[in-house]
Amino acid sequence: MSNKPTDELFDHTFDGIQEYDNPIPSWVNWILLGTVIYSVFHVIYVQFGPGQTVAEEYAAAVRAHEAAKPVVTEAEMKRNEATLSQMMANAEDVAAGRKSFETYCVACHAEQGEGQIGPNLTDDYWIHGDGTLMAIRSVVKKGVLEKGMPSWEMQLSPEQLDEVTAYIGTLRGTDVEGKAPEGELRKPPEGSVEAPPEGETASL
């Protein structure tokens, strides 16, 4: 054990100030030495071994993000107001859409779409979009987070999104008594959508 005092003053002064001979604890120096040794091995591992650089890790994360995006099918690319209107005229599509609506949507929009937490879907007033089927589908797909409506594109397949949109389309203008109108009156222009003759089956 050393008898050297730890708070011994140095003989020199600087601007009238004297300092103690109080060295950094040895454990701090060991930590510093350890970081230097680690950095050497890290450089070897990343630059010459199997390790990834920051740029490579970022590129891998971007690729993973792109791979996780929903695949846009040919049917989705061809989707438009007319094809969704055809689904409205197909009883099977509407029934399937009603089933999805009852599973995912009634908690906010009520059983008949008359509105509860969410707006009334049976009037011709729309907060988001212009009331067209494509606008309705976009809102269902992407959601409106600031209003508390989640995005459904990860829970519902593109076909289910089409079906529930077709069902909601059948609710427009039915004016079920419920939540007061919200948004703006936006009726689709007359004749803007050509629906197929009754009983005809739509195909995407």
- Write the pLDDT tens digit of every residue in 117-134: 999 999 999 998 888 999
pLDDT of residue 198: 39
Q: Give the residue from 149, 155, 33 showing the smallest Cα distance to 100.
A: 155
Q: 90 falls in which pLDDT band (50, 70, 90)?
A: very high
pLDDT of residue 38: 95
pLDDT of residue 147: 84
pLDDT of residue 177: 92
What pLDDT digit, counting tens, does each position of 25-77 carry? 899 999 999 999 999 999 998 888 888 888 888 998 988 887 876 665 666 66
Token code pair at residue 151: 């995005």
Token code pair at residue 1: 């054990």
pLDDT of residue 110: 92
pLDDT of residue 140: 93
What pLDDT digit, counting tens, does each position of 186-201 carry? 876 554 444 433 344 3
What pLDDT digit, counting tens, does each position of 151-178 carry? 998 899 989 999 999 999 999 989 999 9
pTM of the predicted model as reported, rounded to 2 decimal places: 0.57
Mean pLDDT of 106-118: 92
Q: Is the pLDDT of residue 202 over 50?
A: no
Q: Which residue has the higher pLDDT, 102 or 194?
A: 102
- For residues 86 and 202, what is the distance between their CA atoms, to the nearest angstrom? 5
pLDDT of residue 201: 37
**One-letter amino acid for residue 128 of the chain:** H
**Does residue 130 contact residue 186 with C-beta atoms inside 8 Å?**
yes
Token code pair at residue 153: 């594109």
- For residues 138 and 38, what is the distance between their CA atoms, to the nearest angstrom? 52
